[in-house]
Structure 1
Amino acid sequence: MAMFPFIFLKTKDLKLDKRIINHELIHIRQQLELLIIPFYLLYFLNYLANWIYYRDHYLAYRNIVFEREAFENDLKPGYLKKRRFASWVNYFRQV
Structure 2
Amino acid sequence: MRIASQFWMDEIGSVSPFATVLLMTILLLGLLPGVVTLRDQIVQEFGDVAVAIESFDQSYSYSFNGVTSEYIDSSSISDPVNEAPAGLDLTISATSE
More helix by share: 1
Who wins on radius of gyration, i.e. which is larger? 2
The normalised TM-score by structure 1 is 0.28
More strand by share: 2
